Amino acid sequence: MTGSCAAPIPFGTLVGYWFAELAADAEQRVEEHFLGCAHCSARLEALAALHQGIRASFENGAIHAVISAPFLATMKERGMRLREYPVAPGGSVHCTISASDDAVIGRLKAPLAGLARVDMVVTDEADTLLFQLEDVPFDPAAGEVLFCPAAAALKQMPAHTEKVRLLAVEDAGERAIGDYTFFHTPG
Ligand SMILES: [Zn+2]
């Protein structure tokens, strides 16, 4: 439908372009390529559609996510109704979500300085794995990871307990840097 391309823009470069992360000269080269290449232009459109889809899923509360502080600030600026629960390592919190809430944010305090990668593991009360998020975004200086569970699913849940563990992933292996327990009751 869109022909082919003898020298397609590498996917990583495409992503970098979409997030406006390329250096000015690289960005200009990519733009010149798009002008003459329907194939790569279509690939960029597909990437944009994927991004929109992920964002829509997130805003509909369909996916679990760890978000950045700027993203949280954007959610607030846009008037989303949020509940925030700060929890210290080893701590627990009683939490809820009401029908009119858009999202809940677990502010997981943790010693993050010097870490390159953090994973998050979520289990139920019996330590059965519910889901895992790898290489989550975090600001080492902020000392917290912002966990935003899928709001739509959470609104359907009865009273239950969820256990969250943060893992530092290093050359030597993984080590737990914080455990957090959420005692959830329906709103
Ligand atoms: Zn091309």
At CA 102, angle to CA 18 and CA 144, rounded to 5? 70
38 CA from centroid of ligand 1 (Å): 7
Direct distance between the N- and C-terminal alpha carbons of the chain, in angstroms, rounded to an integer: 50
Distance in Å, CA 36 to ligand 1 centroid: 8
Predicted structure pTM score: 0.77
> Is residue 1's pLDDT more than 50?
no
Band (159; pLDDT cuts 50, 70, 90): very high
pLDDT for 74 equals 87
Q: Separation of 35 CA from ligand 1 center, angstroms?
A: 9
Q: Please determine, for residue 2, whether its predicted confidence score (pLDDT) is greater than 70.
A: no
From ligand 1's centre to the CA of 52, what distance in Å?
A: 22
**Residue 60: predicted pLDDT:** 81
Q: How many A from CA of 39 to the centre of ligand 1?
A: 5
Q: Ligand 1 is a single-atom ion; what residues have CB below 5 A from it?
A: 5, 8, 37, 39-40
List, in sequence order, every residue forming a beta bridge with 88; answer none if it has no partner. none
55 Cα–ligand 1 center, Å? 26
Ligand 1 centroid to residue 27 C-alpha, Å: 14
User: Residue 40 above 70 pLDDT?
Assistant: yes
CA angle 154, 156, 157 (to 5 degrees): 65
Q: d(Cα 165, Cα 180) in Å, to the nearest integer? A: 6
Determine the distance separating the centroid of ligand 1 and the alpha carbon of 33, expressed in angstroms: 6
